[in-house]
Chain A
Amino acid sequence: MDSYQETIFRLKRFWAKHGCVIQEPYDVEVGAGTMCPETFLRVLGPKPYNVAYVQPSRRPADGRYGENPNRLYKHSQLQVILKPAPANVMDLYLESLEAIGIRLDQHDLKFEEDNWESPTLGAWGIGWQVMLDGLEITQFTYFQQCGGVDLDLVPAELTYGLERLVAFLQDRKSVFDIEWVEGVSYRDVRFLEEQQFSVYNFEKADVQMLWQLFGLHEAEAQRLIDEYRGLDAEKDFREKSRFPLLAAYDHVLNCSHTFNLLDSRGAISVTERVAVIGRVRKLAVGVAGCWIDQQRLLDGAAAQEVQA
Chain B
Amino acid sequence: MTERLPLLFEIGVEEIPHWMIAPALGEMEKLFRSLCAENRIEPGPLRLDATPRRLVLRAEALPARQDDREELVIGPPKAAGEGAAQGFARKNGVTLAELRVETTPKGEYFALLKRIEGRPVIEILAEILPELIRRIPWPKTMYWTGKGGPLFIRPVRWIAALFGDQVVEFEYAGVRSGALSCGHRRLGAREIVFDHATYEERLEKNGVILSAEKRRQRIEAGVKKLLRGTGLEWVRDEALLGDIVYLTEYPTPVLGRFDERFLELPREVLTTVMRHHQRYFTVQDGEGRLAPRFIAVMNMKADRKGYVVKGNERVLEARFTDARFFWEVDRQRTLASRMDGLAQVTFQAKLGSYRDKTLGIVLTARRLAGWLGLDLELAERAARLCKVDLMTEMVKEFPELQGVMGGLYARADGEPEEVAQAIYDHYLPQSMEDPIPRTVYGRILSLADKLDTLEGCFGIGLIPSGSKDPFGLRRAAQGVVKVLVEGRLHVDLKRAVEEGMAATARLFPECGPAQTQALWEFLLDRIRYYFREVRGFAYDEVNAALAGDWKTLPDLEARLYALKLVRQTENFEPLAASFKRIRNILRQAAWERGDVRPERLEAAEEKTLYEEAQRVLGEVAQLRASGDYIRILQAVATLRPAVDAFFDKVLVNAPDEGVRANRLALLGRLLNEVSSIADFSEIVTTTTTE
Cross-interface CB contact of B247 among A110, A150, A269, cutoff 8 Å: A110
Q: Is the CB of A134 within 8 A of B312?
A: yes
Q: Is the CB of A144 within 8 A of B142?
A: yes
Query: Which of A151-159, A190-198, A228-236 binds B?
Result: A151-159
Within 8 A of B (CB), among A127-143: 128, 132-135, 142
Cross-interface CB contact of A133 among B315, B325, B346, cutoff 8 Å: B315
Q: Is the CB of A154 within 8 A of B146?
A: yes
Q: Does B186 contact A (CB under 8 A)?
A: yes
Known: A110-B248, A271-B349. A85 touches B144 (CB 8 A): yes
Q: Does A239 contact B (CB under 8 A)?
A: no
**Residues of chain A contacted by B321 (CB below 8 angstroms):** 69
A115–B19 alpha-carbon span in the complex (Å): 14
Q: Is the CB of B318 within 8 A of A173?
A: yes
B147, closest chain A residue (CB): A152
Q: Does B322 contact A (CB under 8 A)?
A: yes
Q: Is the CB of A108 within 8 A of B318?
A: no
**Residues of chain B contacted by A271 (CB below 8 angstroms):** 346, 349
Cross-interface CB contact of B157 among A70, A87, A126, cutoff 8 Å: A87
Q: Does B305 contact A (CB under 8 A)?
A: yes
**Residues of chain A contacted by B304 (CB below 8 angstroms):** 106
Q: Is the CB of A111 within 8 A of B14?
A: yes
B344, closest chain A residue (CB): A269
Cross-interface CB contact of B186 among A87, A105, A151, cutoff 8 Å: A105
Known: A142-B144, A168-B311. A108 touches B299 (CB 8 A): yes
Q: Does B178 contact A (CB under 8 A)?
A: no
Q: Distance (Å) between the CB of A252 and the closest chain B CB?
A: 24
Q: Does A41 contact B (CB under 8 A)?
A: no
**Residues of chain B contacted by A188 (CB below 8 angstroms):** none
**Residues of chain B contacted by A168 (CB below 8 angstroms):** 311, 314
Q: Is the CB of A104 within 8 A of B186?
A: yes
Q: Is the CB of A151 within 8 A of B307?
A: no
Q: Distance (Å) between the CB of A269 and the closest chain B CB?
A: 7
Q: Distance (Å) between the CB of B153 and the closest chain A CB?
A: 8
Q: Is the CB of A270 within 8 A of B308?
A: no
Q: Distance (Å) between the CB of B557 and the closest chain A CB?
A: 41
- Chain B interface helix/strand/loop/mixed: loop
Known: A94-B185, A111-B15. A133 touches B311 (CB 8 A): yes
Q: Distance (Å) between the CB of B300 and the closest chain A CB?
A: 5
Cross-interface CB contact of B155 among A104, A115, A142, A153, cutoff 8 Å: A142
Known: A105-B186, A108-B308, A150-B147. A115 touches B14 (CB 8 A): no
- Of A107, A126, A133, A171, the most chain B CB neighbours within 10 A belong to A133
Within 8 A of A (CB), among B364-382: none
A199–B494 alpha-carbon span in the complex (Å): 55
Q: Does A16 contact B (CB under 8 A)?
A: no
Cross-interface CB contact of B143 among A70, A133, A144, cutoff 8 Å: A144
Q: Does A90 contact B (CB under 8 A)?
A: yes
Q: Does A276 contact B (CB under 8 A)?
A: no
In this complex, the interface size class of chain A, counting residues with CB under 8 Å from chain B, is 35 or more
Q: Is the CB of A109 within 8 A of B185?
A: yes
**Residues of chain A contacted by B186 (CB below 8 angstroms):** 94, 104-105, 109
A130, closest chain B residue (CB): B15
Q: Does B689 contact A (CB under 8 A)?
A: no
Q: Does A23 contact B (CB under 8 A)?
A: no
Cross-interface CB contact of B311 among A84, A115, A134, A154, cutoff 8 Å: A134
Q: Is the CB of A110 within 8 A of B299?
A: yes
Q: Is the CB of B322 within 8 A of A154?
A: no
B153, closest chain A residue (CB): A126
Q: Is the CB of A106 within 8 A of B307?
A: yes
**Residues of chain A contacted by B52 (CB below 8 angstroms):** 111
Q: Distance (Å) between the CB of A113 and the closest chain B CB?
A: 4
Q: Is the CB of B325 within 8 A of A128?
A: no
A68–B393 alpha-carbon span in the complex (Å): 14
- Of A90, A112, A134, A168, the most chain B CB neighbours within 10 A belong to A134
Q: Does B220 contact A (CB under 8 A)?
A: no
**Residues of chain A contacted by B317 (CB below 8 angstroms):** 173
A8–B314 alpha-carbon span in the complex (Å): 23
How many chain B residues touch A (Cβ–Cβ < 8 Å)? 48
Q: Does B278 contact A (CB under 8 A)?
A: yes
Cross-interface CB contact of A270 among B145, B310, B345, cutoff 8 Å: B345
**Residues of chain A contacted by B311 (CB below 8 angstroms):** 107-108, 132-135, 168
**Residues of chain B contacted by A142 (CB below 8 angstroms):** 142, 144, 155
**Residues of chain B contacted by A125 (CB below 8 angstroms):** 142
A258-281 interface code vs B (CB 8 A; 1 in, 0 out): 000000000001110000000000
Q: Distance (Å) between the CB of B421 and the closest chain A CB?
A: 29
Within 8 A of A (CB), among B242-283: 247-248, 278, 280
Known: A68-B325, A94-B185, A133-B311. A106 touches B305 (CB 8 A): yes
A168–B308 alpha-carbon span in the complex (Å): 11
Q: Is the CB of A135 within 8 A of B144?
A: no
Q: Is the CB of B17 within 8 A of A113?
A: yes
Q: Distance (Å) between the CB of B316 and the closest chain A CB?
A: 7
Q: Is the CB of A108 within 8 A of B322?
A: no
Q: Is the CB of A128 within 8 A of B15?
A: yes
Q: Is the CB of B308 within 8 A of A133?
A: yes
A84, closest chain B residue (CB): B146
Q: Distance (Å) between the CB of A55 and the closest chain B CB?
A: 24
Q: Is the CB of A152 within 8 A of B146?
A: yes
**Residues of chain B contacted by A112 (CB below 8 angstroms):** 15, 18, 247
A144–B18 alpha-carbon span in the complex (Å): 21
Q: Is the CB of B300 within 8 A of A108?
A: yes
**Residues of chain B contacted by A134 (CB below 8 angstroms):** 278, 280, 296, 311-312, 315-316
Q: Distance (Å) between the CB of A112 and the closest chain B CB?
A: 7
A295–B346 alpha-carbon span in the complex (Å): 43
B307, closest chain A residue (CB): A106
A105–B305 alpha-carbon span in the complex (Å): 10
B345, closest chain A residue (CB): A270
Cross-interface CB contact of A153 among B146, B247, B305, cutoff 8 Å: B146
Within 8 A of A (CB), among B284-309: 296, 298-300, 303-305, 307-308
Q: Distance (Å) between the CB of B653 and the closest chain A CB?
A: 68
Within 8 A of B (CB), among A77-119: 84-85, 87, 90, 94, 104-113, 115
**Residues of chain A contacted by B115 (CB below 8 angstroms):** none
In the assembled complex, 5 residue pairs joining A and B whose CB atoms fall closer than 8 Å, in A order, are A70-B322, A107-B311, A108-B296, A134-B311, A168-B314
A113-B19, A135-B314 provided; 17 other pairs, C-beta below 8 A? A70-B322, A85-B155, A90-B185, A107-B308, A108-B296, A108-B312, A110-B247, A111-B14, A113-B15, A133-B310, A133-B312, A144-B142, A151-B147, A152-B146, A152-B147, A168-B311, A271-B349
Residues of B participating in the A interface, judged by any CB pair closer than 8 Å: 14-15, 17-19, 52, 140, 142-147, 149, 154-155, 157, 185-187, 247-248, 278, 280, 296, 298-300, 303-305, 307-308, 310-312, 314-318, 321-322, 325, 344-346, 349
Ranked nearest first, the 9 interchain pairs of A and B with the lowest CB-CB distance are A133-B311, A113-B17, A111-B15, A108-B298, A134-B312, A126-B142, A270-B346, A134-B315, A108-B308
